[in-house]
Amino acid sequence: MATSRDSVIPQAERMFEGGTHKLDVWTIFTPANVPPDCINLGQGFMNWAPADWIRKAAHKAMDDDIMVNHYAHPRGRPRLVKAISDVYSPTFPNLEGRKLNPEEIVVTAGANGGIYSALTAHLEPGDEVVLIEPFFDQYFATIAFQGGKPVYVPLHPPKEGGGKSSGADWTLNLDELEAAFTPKTKAIIINTPHNPVGKVFTKEELEGIAKICIKHNVLVIADEVYDCMIYDGKSHFHIASLPGMWERTLSVFSGGKSFAATGWRVGWLIGPQPLVSATLAAQSRIVFCTNGPMQEATAIALEGAAEHKFFETQTAEYQERRDILCSYFDQLGLPYTLPEGSYFVLVDMSRLKIPEDYPIPETCKGRGKDFAKCWWMANEIKVVSIPPSEFYCEDHVAIGENFARFAFCKDPELLHAAGKRLLQLKPYLQ
């Protein structure tokens, strides 16, 4: 991808902050750039369609109601806004039994579009945003494009020693977190369940974070898009439910993640009216609204989820898929973090030794060692993964480059096929 400050029409300087102008990891490891017979456990999309009962009802709605196919209100189609209120109101105990009102909800162009709109609405140039590493790489670009500055605090990985750990074993040092706050700090992004670690922050951990946020009077973006994928009896808790947090928090959710429909690009934010209204004002100038038919489909999905026991069934299926993929890392003797939530497994690949002279593309050079390893695995083992160093700042790349991220949002047959290929790594492990 050609980029230059010196072209006839130069790019904005902010495009060069933190390497935003470089080819992103998703494009490097897209199916178009790897062998066609690869099994893609890289980007987190499913290889099955949304449930039949959702698709059939959505098709009928498109046929029966012409307006489903046209512009929605920028806040969201009323049916979807009501469905979000009905489903999510009981999950916020701080509401004390009342329903979320429409002014506390905004439907966005995916969760990513929602975060972009929220930060567009609230960041001034020079404002700082605290990011907990590893972080979803889109956070950085969104902050940079508003003239903001990311400030990084790492989760500390489990101590070396091999074997299986848990997302809970990745820890956040609250003293380090508070030290990251300055008079310029405007916001912090909290991702739970966490991508790519799979950590589900406990209520106690969130209370510690909340105390710091209240002390420094900052906005909290709570990225909770994997809220319906929690395993082994763990519980997800909204940081917005803690005392003093509702009025400063925008909680972010994803219809695409929830209902195996990542291409629908339907997300939503929940929060107090002033924060939501500002976000709505930004969104209505960026995309105006997200697509009507998929909003209707998402409303149908939320309305029918309880009757169809959708989330209970889906969670059990995801946990089974997680355990299938992890069984192959057990056979390899590779340490990994058993995720408490989300649909990713972070595997310690530091024992993997690939040929030093193995050719890698220019797009992978000058980046973490994990880029070369993941490129080699895609081309020689024929399994695509994602190098997590992309989710770290330059000072902390050494943490991320020890790992590879594998997605298990695939059907069991494909996961077994990928696992059998991964067993070919044995001769390359030292």
Tell me the backbone φ, ψ of residue 406, rounded to 5 degrees. Answer: -120, 135
How are beta strands 249-254 and 266-270 bridged, if at all? antiparallel
Using alpha carbons, select from 82, 98, 93, 114 the residue that is nearest to residue 235.
Answer: 93
List the structure tokens of 207: 């209370």
> Are the CB atoms for 401 and 347 separated by under 8 Å?
no
Bridge partners of residue 190, in order along the sequence: 222
User: Helix, strand or coil for residue 338?
Assistant: strand
Any idea what DSSP says for residue 56?
Answer: H
Find the helix packing angle between 412-422 and 310-332, rounded to 10°.
Answer: 10
Residues of the chain below pLDDT 50: 1, 161
User: Helix, strand or coil for residue 406?
Assistant: strand
In the prediction, which pLDDT does 1 show? 45
In the prediction, which pLDDT does 6 show? 61
> Are the CB atoms for 265 and 87 separated by under 8 Å?
no
> Are the CB atoms for 20 and 26 separated by under 8 Å?
no
Fold observed for domain 13-49+310-428 = Aspartate Aminotransferase, domain 1 (3.90.1150)
> Are the CB atoms for 335 and 348 separated by under 8 Å?
yes
Tell me the backbone φ, ψ of residue 181, rounded to 5 degrees. Answer: -85, 135
> Are the CB atoms for 183 and 215 separated by under 8 Å?
no
In the prediction, which pLDDT does 31 show? 74
Query: CA-CA distance, 76 to 84, in Å (whole number)?
Result: 10
List the structure tokens of 296: 């209707």
Question: What is this structure's pTM?
Answer: 0.93
Kindly give, in sequence order, each residue whose CB lies less than 8 Å from that of residue 28, ignoring residues fewer than 6 positions away: 361, 363, 364, 371
Cα angle value 194/412/383 (rounded, 5°): 70
Query: CA-CA distance, 302 to 45, in Å (whole number)?
Result: 20
What does CATH list as the number for 52-304? 3.40.640.10
Kindly give, in sequence order, each residue whose CB lies less than 8 Å from that of residue 422, ignoring residues fewer than 6 positions away: 328, 329, 332, 381, 383
In the prediction, which pLDDT does 4 show? 59
Query: CA-CA distance, 123 to 366, in Å (whole number)?
Result: 31
- Domain extents for the chain? 13-49+310-428, 52-304
> Are the CB atoms for 364 and 376 separated by under 8 Å?
no
Query: CA-CA distance, 420 to 430, in Å (whole number)?
Result: 19
